[in-house]
């Protein structure tokens, strides 16, 4: 009962800019099992975001192999990757990244427009997601009419709208005050425990990391051996 | 396009929101497209009125105009009238002459023709004039016949005197208004007796006609009759050119300059300007949204869908611009046709339904074309690059 959903072998990513080469990720091996809630920590520039982008198929590795949900991502073309992302990955950003001209509900509905659901079903599903994050009364608000914490909850609703298997969060609490941050963490924990989502979260915040089931460290593009098991707050 | 991609129709509301998110810029863009395509519409209408549209009334297609082959400014001897009358198929003929001149002020422009009053009503059977007025006009050598609306515009009535200061001809002529007429078209005309003009000129300038206007027996005969008239004078000192009334109206305008070339040059300039304006606006609004493009792609939108949405936005804006351009062009055409004073064929100038379609299609094609480059660039931006973009 421990299916591996993310498996990377000797994964490397090199950025070339003019003459310079930056090795953002260096021969990284990682295995994440279904239902895990992994907190990824490490100093700035250690390649955490780069790893997230590779797992979410937002970027392609320079070398090495990465399989997510049993699929070798390098096999897909760009359009196939886009649809695969839509179905299987929910991404939560540090800067929320909502579309400013769309209401909360429309933002959450956006990824559903790419599915086979009809208009009614989409709205219903988007409303369910918004209620789940406690924003049932803010559906018609625009992002600028929401607080940072509320915006991030809309972003979470958007990430779970298509009911993906994996949630990826890159410093989701980085722009939030302590209270909003712990709201968001409780929500992620709930998604992990009650809905069985596999979550990989980058964070600098030890406090946030304690909500995870596993903490991993990345340093200079290399993943440190699994050393630490946090105790979950109740 | 990838078959799994969603039809653009799914994203109409999003496209609309994007197109209207910067209201001021969108309005300005729509306005500049409207202005340019309005101009294009008017030019199209002018072109069609001058060079393509024909007087389709039965009498209209039976009317021919003969003029000096060399130029409109050259005249023909009056002896030609009798010779042309002999040509089989010619039912009526009348000498007539553009007088030009000024009525009080140059801005009071309307067509003034010297003619042979007795024949005028044969050639224009659609003229409706009271019988006594008709007789008075024919009888008075200094008589004038005006279109009813034209007379009303200058507050003239039967019995009034009207003086024209000559410009082409070195004479000032005073006329008695003897009658008013109603007609199906070209009502803004003043007719007077060519005899009166001749008598006022020095002896060596009399007995000529700038043009002859004929009515043929049938419309089908008209081309053959025209050919026969011209062949009649093939070896004469003054050769002729005979064409249909509407073709003549067009050549009358061409005589003012190479109108066709001007029309095409202006249209090309407009089209090019629009390409730049649209391209620039779309590029600008896309640059501001690179980050959003990254977000959309993260959510699963493909390059093709992103590009389609940006093109859709350009289409919406240019369609709006084209539509408003047509509305303005339509109103302008109405105004021009009202103020044309029966000049050439401009009275019939209008923005026909097919022109609306043409102008709006041109607008959409230009707008979309202009957006292809920025749209392609944006859709190809990788997610990582797009998300790093802070603009
Ligand atoms: N698009 C890019 N082009 C060039 N270099 C890049 C690019 N993205 C990342 N890098 C470099 O790769 C390295 C790893 O970057 P990454 O963003 O993964 O770090 P991180 O661990 O997420 O850092 P932080 O905690 O500050 O977010 C850094 O040195 C960074 O400068
Ligand atoms: Mg980062």
- Rounded distance from Cα B300 to ligand 2 centre (Å): 21
Q: What is the pLDDT of residues B139-166, one digit of tens each?
A: 999 999 999 988 998 999 999 999 999 8
| CA–CA distance, B311 with B375 (Å, rounded to integer) | 7
Is the CB of B7 inside 8 Å of chain A's CB atoms?
no
| CA–CA distance, B77 with B339 (Å, rounded to integer) | 34
Cα dihedral B221, B227, B233, B234 in deg (nearest 10): -160
- Rounded distance from Cα A230 to ligand 2 centre (Å): 22
If you average pLDDT over residues B303-321, what whole number do you get?
Answer: 92
- Give all domains of chain A, ordered by start, each with its CATH number: 34-62+77-223 (3.40.50.300)
Alpha-carbon distance values, A128 to A68, A112, A165, B40, B214 (Å):
27, 13, 17, 52, 82
Q: What is the DSSP string of B365-391?
A: HHHHHHHHHHHHHHHHS-HHHHHH---
Residue B58: the pLDDT is 62
Q: Of the ranges A54-68, A104-118, B172-186, which one carries the lowest mean pLDDT score?
A: B172-186
Q: What is the pairing mode between strands B90-98 and B211-216?
A: antiparallel
Is the CB of B382 inside 8 Å of chain A's CB atoms?
yes
Q: Is the CB of A44 under 6 A from ligand 1?
A: yes
Alpha helices in A165-231 (DSSP H): 178-195, 206-209
Chain A residues with CB-CB distance to B22 below 8 A: none
B215, B92 contact by CB (below 8 A): yes
Residue B89 corresponds to which tokens in the numbers above? 């198929």
Q: Of the ranges A47-51, A59-63, B193-197, B269-273, which one carries the lowest mean pLDDT score?
A: B269-273
Chain A residues with CB-CB distance to B5 below 8 A: 79
Given a cut of 50, is residue A166 above it in pLDDT?
Answer: yes
Q: Quick one: which atom of ligand 1 is closest to the CA of A50?
A: 18
Residue A187: the pLDDT is 94
Residues A59, B384: C-beta atoms closer than 8 Å: yes
User: Three-state SS for B201?
Assistant: coil
Q: Classify residue A232 by its DSSP letter.
A: P
Residues B303, A78: C-beta atoms closer than 8 Å: yes
| CA–CA distance, B119 with B129 (Å, rounded to integer) | 14
Residue B148 corresponds to which tokens in the numbers above? 């009813």
Given a cut of 90, is residue A53 above it in pLDDT?
Answer: yes
Q: Which of B17, B296, B383 sits opposite A58 (nearest CB)?
A: B383
ipTM for this model:
0.93
- Rounded distance from Cα B343 to ligand 1 centre (Å): 73
Residue A220: the pLDDT is 77
B212, B93 contact by CB (below 8 A): yes
Best mutation site among A11, A12, A13, A15 for ligand 1, i.e. most ligand atoms within 8 A of its Cβ? A15
Residue A116 corresponds to which tokens in the numbers above? 């086979």
Cα dihedral A46, A49, A53, A56 in deg (nearest 10): 120
Closest CA to B219 of B252, B186, B244, B242: B244
Given a cut of 90, is residue B299 above it in pLDDT?
Answer: yes
Residue B321: the pLDDT is 93
Q: What is the pLDDT of residues B86-145, one digit of tens each?
A: 999 899 999 988 888 899 888 888 889 999 998 999 998 888 999 999 999 999 999 999
Residue B260: the pLDDT is 73
Residues B300, A56: C-beta atoms closer than 8 Å: no
Closest CA to B276 of B376, B367, B378: B367
- Rounded distance from Cα B60 to ligand 2 centre (Å): 80
Given a cut of 90, is residue A13 above it in pLDDT?
Answer: yes
Q: Which residue has the higher pLDDT, A137 or B253?
A: A137
How close B290 gets to chain A, by Cα (Å)? 12
* Pairs across A and B, CB distance < 8 A: 63
Q: Give B27's pLDDT tier (boundaries 50, 70, 90).
A: very high
Q: Which of A59, A86, A99 sits opposite B292 (nearest CB)?
A: A99
Q: Quick one: which atom of ligand 1 is closest to the CA of A51?
A: 18
Alpha-carbon distance values, A53 to A61, A196, B284 (Å):
9, 22, 28
Q: Which residue has the higher pLDDT, B4 or B93?
A: B93
User: Three-state SS for B358?
Assistant: helix
Residue A200 corresponds to which tokens in the numbers above? 């990989």
If you average pLDDT over residues B37-55, what whole number do you get?
Answer: 80
| Residue entry with tokens 């590009």 | B307
Element (H or E) spanning B16, and its range? helix B12-19
């Amino acid at each position: 009962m421990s299916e591996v959903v993310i498996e990377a072998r000797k994964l490397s990513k090199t950025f070339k800019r003019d003459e310079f080469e930056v090795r953002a990720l260096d021969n990284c091996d990682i295995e994440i099992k279904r239902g895990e809630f992994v907190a990824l920590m490490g100093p700035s520039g250690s390649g955490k975001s780069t790893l997230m982008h590779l797992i979410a198929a937002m970027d392609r590795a320079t070398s090495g192999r990465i399989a997510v949900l049993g699929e070798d991502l390098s096999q897909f073309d760009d359009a196939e990757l886009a649809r695969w992302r839509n179905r299987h990955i929910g991404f939560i950003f540090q800067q929320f990244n909502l579309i400013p001209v769309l209401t909360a509900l429309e933002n959450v509905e956006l990824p559903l427009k790419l599915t086979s659901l009809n208009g009614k079903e989409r709205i219903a599903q988007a409303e369910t997601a918004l209620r789940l994050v406690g924003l049932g009364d803010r559906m018609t608000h625009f992002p600028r009419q929401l607080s940072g914490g509320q915006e991030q909850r809309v972003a979470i609703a958007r990430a779970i709208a298509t009911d993906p298997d994996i949630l990826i969060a890159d410093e989701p609490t980085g722009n939030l005050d302590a209270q909003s941050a712990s709201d968001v963490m409780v929500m992620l924990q709930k998604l992990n425990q009650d809905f069985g989502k596999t979550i990989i979260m980058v964070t600098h915040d030890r406090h946030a990391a304690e909500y995870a089931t596993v903490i991993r460290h990345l340093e200079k593009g290399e993943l440190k051996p699994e050393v630490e098991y946090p105790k979950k707050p109740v | 396009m990838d078959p799994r991609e969603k039809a653009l129709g799914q994203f109409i509301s999003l496209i609309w929101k994007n197109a209207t998110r910067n209201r001021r810029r969108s309005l300005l863009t729509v306005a500049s497209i409207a202005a340019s395509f309005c101009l294009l519409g008017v030019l199209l209408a002018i072109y069609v009125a001058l060079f393509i549209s024909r007087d389709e009334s039965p009498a209209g297609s039976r009317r021919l105009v003969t003029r000096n082959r060399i130029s409109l400014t050259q005249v023909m001897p009056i002896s030609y009238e009798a010779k042309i009358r002999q040509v089989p198929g010619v039912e009526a003929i009348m000498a007539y002459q553009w007088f030009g001149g000024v009525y009080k002020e140059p801005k009071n422009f309307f067509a003034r023709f010297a003619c042979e009053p007795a024949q005028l009503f044969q050639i224009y059977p659609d003229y409706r004039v009271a019988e006594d007025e008709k007789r008075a006009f024919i009888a008075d050598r200094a008589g004038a016949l005006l279109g009813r609306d034209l007379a009303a515009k200058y507050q003239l009535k039967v019995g009034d005197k009207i003086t024209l200061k000559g410009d082409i001809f070195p004479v000032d002529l005073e006329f008695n208004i003897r009658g008013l007429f109603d007609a199906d078209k070209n009502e803004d005309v003043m007719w007077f007796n060519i005899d009166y003009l001749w008598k006022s000129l020095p002896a060596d300038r009399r007995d000529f006609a700038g043009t002859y206007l004929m009515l043929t027996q049938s419309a089908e005969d008209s081309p053959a009759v025209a050919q026969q008239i011209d062949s009649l004078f093939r070896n004469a000192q003054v050769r002729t050119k005979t064409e249909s009334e509407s073709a003549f109206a067009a050549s009358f305008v061409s005589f003012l300059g190479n109108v066709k070339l001007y029309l095409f040059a202006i249209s090309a300039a407009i089209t090019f300007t629009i390409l730049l304006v649209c391209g620039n606006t779309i590029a600008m609004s896309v640059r501001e949204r690179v980050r959003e493009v990254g977000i959309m792609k993260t959510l699963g939108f493909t390059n093709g869908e992103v590009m389609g949405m940006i093109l859709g936005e350009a289409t919406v804006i240019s369609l709006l611009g084209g539509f408003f351009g047509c509305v303005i062009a339509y109103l302008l055409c109405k105004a021009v046709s009202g103020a044309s004073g029966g000049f050439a064929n401009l009275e019939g100038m209008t923005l026909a339904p097919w022109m609306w379609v043409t102008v709006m299609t041109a607008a959409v094609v230009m707008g979309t074309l202009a957006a292809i480059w920025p749209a392609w660039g944006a859709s190809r931006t990788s997610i990582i690059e797009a998300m790093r973009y802070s603009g």
